[in-house]
Amino acid sequence: MTRLPIYQMMYDMGGLKFPSESDDDSNQGVVFLIQKFSDGAEIGNISDLVVYFPFDINDSYYELESKIENSMISFIPPKFSIPIRFRIDYNMMFKFTNYGEQDLKYSGRVPFRKGENSFLVVYPLDLEIMDEMYFETKGIFVGLTPTFGEGGDIIFDFKQ
């Protein structure tokens, strides 16, 4: 089984960074991203792929797991019975390299493995349900960052 995290990054003047890498605390423009496989395999067609979303409720860490169905991913948060849906945007891709065609460059310090530098945007579809979930449980979808998530830096060297 291959486990693939959903990351949280932000837009910065120099490109994409993890929030902990930015000098600008006023920038709240975060985006959730999932890595694309370097061999070009369609991420939704990998049968043993499990996507996980780092999640927090009152300082308790969870990894919500799901499978990709077409371009949709649904998660059921703890203490909440309604699934929250996300969509993978296959048309908006960010490449974190200094060469080739790119939308934005990664300008942070995390050493992603060579060839595993393309990302797809993952965006929530159920914002009203997410609000309801937050008010009921105080749970939030965080996404993996160098400062939030189990396993520390090893996750950035995942293998297929």
Give pLDDT tens digits for 32-69.
988 776 555 567 667 778 999 999 999 899 999 999 98
Residue 36: closest CA among 9, 65, 7? 7
CA–CA dist 153, 160 (Å, integer): 17
CA–CA dist 55, 59 (Å, integer): 9
Q: Tokens standing for 29?
A: 């423009």
Mind listing the pLDDT tens digit for each residue in 71-126?
899 999 999 999 999 998 877 655 544 444 444 456 677 766 544 556 788 999 99
Cα angle value 20/12/16 (rounded, 5°): 75
Mind listing the pLDDT tens digit for each residue in 119-145?
788 999 999 999 999 999 999 999 988
* DSSP per residue, 135-151: HHH-EEE--BBTTBSTT
